Amino acid sequence: MDVLRIRGGRRLTGEWTVHTAKNAVLPIMAAAVLTAEKTFLEDCPFLSDVGYMADILRTLGCRVARSGRTLEIDPQGMSGYEMPDGLAKKIRSSIFLLGPILTRFHKATVTFPGGCEIGLRPIDLHLSGLRQLGVEIREEGGVIHCDGRHMCAGSVHFDYPSVGATENVMMAAVLLKGRTVLTNVAREPEIVDLQQFLNRMGAKVRGAGSHTIVVEGVSKLHGVSYRPMPDRIVAGTMLAAAAITGGTVRLERVPLEDMHAVCSKLREMGCVLTHQGEGVTLHAPEKLRAFAQLQTQPHPGFPTDMQAQLLALATLASGTSVLVENVFENRYGHAGDLNRMGADVLINGRTAVVRGVKELYGAQVTARDLRGGAALALAALRANGETVIEQAQLIDRGYEDLEGALASLGAEIRRETTNSEYT
Ligand code: UD1
């Protein structure tokens, strides 16, 4: 178990460059097996989820190797179509491989995937999308057997715009003969990035970012070198870190176009944001103001992955903030720990009422999921005394060296029992 020790009270200042997005890299790693040629992912972050996904690809017979920040995926020797149970339980994104594996082998076997404990996260939308492409699916003792021998292009409608299901079905359709039209799809920027990657491989996909995606099937894809987009959630977290400490921080490589909802809330709290090119500077006020209401929604609404961080900010704002978590049903695991630090957060179902307090105090707390762990780190940056965050390795799923990033901006933070050698 890793532990982060943070002594609060330092204002963050300085510059930092945002790393590549986990949520762009993971589906792209899955898409890489749609060809037998090599793919090179440039500027690939050192994250534990990337490591798990690489391990799954290796188990399936791919060669995955790093050269500095470039990740090389060679799927030529891929022979497996059964998702390794133990690894798949570690990372929900393993489900992204279902579409690409079906495309290559016309069959696939998976167990229910894992990931952070933030809700039920069923995979019915993935399975329904694949069924609409003609995949026959049967479940036996928790194992899902997919038969893709009769897969064909056609229409796929999603009852809810799931990010992963949209990506999965998009990947399953690129090599099917004819046109596939996906409706009520998710519009997250990482889906646009996946479309760009697939098109660079030779696919014909359009419409990502809108409600409808059209895939014209091609007969073959080829390997490419690709640099995925920067991480809007990491950028938002670092801006929130500057905000809670009353600091001034400049971030480089920020996908600002995809961050309107987050930036607007930070402004509502009194922060001043200025941007130039791909850089943005945040000047925090002496005291943050509460926001009227924050509702998480699919993109372009406020991202659920930034809910915990904004809740942390609200604990120290003047006034009462209300948050409604609409995307996941169980995503307030951090609230109890923030209350241990002196916050005043009341949870009622999907709603959180946060009454701003004057001060937070250092305490021993536990990261329960990736973003909740980051939120505790933010609160600790402004708390009096030392905060100890247990299970800090969960933060490494989506943040590359968070403590290094915060320390470079002046935070007093260190990790014990470091374990950062991820693929
Ligand atoms: C992706 C992101 C994750 C983010 C989430 C929502 C990646 C790797 N992860 O996760 O960081 O928090 O989008 O923006 O990109 N659902 C079903 N059935 C399904 C699939 C999903 O009911 O088959 C539900 C989930 O339980 C959840 C909601 O739909 O309540 C949203 O899930 P989804 O959009 O699929 O998120 P992920 O792709 O898992």
Residue-wise pLDDT tens digits, 232-269:
999 999 999 999 999 999 999 999 999 999 999 999 99
Structure tokens at 420: 């950062």
CA atoms within 13 A on the CB side of 191: 29
Q: Of the given ranges (84-98, 153-167, 279-293, 353-367), which has the lowest mean pLDDT?
A: 84-98
Is the pLDDT assigned to residue 372 strictly greater than 70?
A: yes
Asked if pLDDT for residue 206 goes beyond 70, the answer is: yes
pLDDT at residue 301, rounded to an integer: 98
Residue 100 has pLDDT above 90, yes or no: yes
How many Å lie between the centroid of ligand 1 and the Cα of residue 404?
29
Mark whether 116 is an active-site residue: yes
Q: What is the pLDDT of residue 161?
A: 97
Q: What pLDDT score does 90 carry?
A: 82
Mutate to test the pocket of ligand 1, among 159, 184, 327 (most ligand atoms within 8 A of CB): 327
Note the pTM of the prediction, 2 decimals.
0.96
Q: In the prediction, which pLDDT does 420 show? A: 53
Find the catalytic residue in 116, 146, 263, 271: 116
Ligand 1 neighbours, Cβ below 6 Å, are 23, 26, 92-93, 119-126, 160, 162-165, 186, 190, 303-305, 327-328
pLDDT tier at 118, thresholds 50, 70, 90:
very low
**pLDDT tens column, 135-188:** 999 988 778 899 999 999 999 999 999 999 999 999 999 999 999 999 999 999
pLDDT score, position 340? 98
Nearest to 389 by CA among 327, 341, 328: 341
In the prediction, which pLDDT does 140 show?
84
pLDDT classification of 121: cutoffs 50, 70, 90 = low
Q: Where are the beta strands (DSSP E) in 242-369?
A: 248-252, 272-276, 279-283, 293-295, 320-324, 344-348, 351-355, 364-366
